[in-house]
Amino acid sequence: MEYGDYQCPYCGAAYPIAKQIQRRFVDKPCFVFRNFPLAQIHPYAGVAAEAAEAAAAQNKFWEMHDYLYENQDALTPQLIAGARLLGLDVERFTDDLRRHAYAERVREDFLSGVRAGVNGTPTFFINAVRHKGSLDFDTLSEAINAGLKQRIAA
């Protein structure tokens, strides 16, 4: 599980590694992303998180997730363009953003992170245990393999 912020440069740097991990372990662990927008330092992170959730309501969460990280330098102007590119119902998407229809969902993710001790992004958990090692591919892969072995042994 990753707690992330779509405007965070460290999350942006971790994004291709997380994608690589997902490809490496495609048949094994479940990858979960939780929104943890650090709105005081990243003013567009909250609306980007809401955009991802609005896309999820149209079954396009991961596509929007990827789009947001791949267009991290221009989040706000790119939201509608992204919705169009992904084939979303743009009117519904825009209305969801205007009404903040998914703000509570984003807040729930954020609060679950606070309860879990998240104080920065990105923060990864493997089998509900916070990963404290490096966020490079090899270190994360080793930690996931160790977590898989623990699950099998349990």
| CATH number (domain holding residue 13) | 3.40.30.10
pLDDT band at 29 (very low <50, low <70, confident <90, very high): low
Q: What's the pLDDT score for residue 80?
A: 92
Decide if 81 contacts 6 (C-beta within 8 A): no
Model pLDDT for residues 35-84, shown as the tens digit of each residue:
999 999 999 999 999 999 999 999 999 999 999 999 998 887 789 999 99
pLDDT confidence band for 25 (50 / 70 / 90): confident
* pLDDT in the model for residue 151: 64
How much is the pLDDT for 152?
Answer: 64
* Assessment of whether the complete model's pTM goes beyond 0.85: yes
145: which DSSP letter?
A: H
Strands 129-130 and 33-35: unpaired
- What are the residues whose beta carbons fall under 8 Å from the beta carbon of 44, sequence distance 6 or more? 6, 7, 75, 76
Residue 28 domain boundaries: 2-153
For the chain, how many structural domains are there in total?
1
* 3-state SS assignment for residue 124: strand
Q: Could you report the per-residue pLDDT of 97-127, keeping only the tens digit for each?
A: 999 999 999 999 999 999 999 999 999 999 8
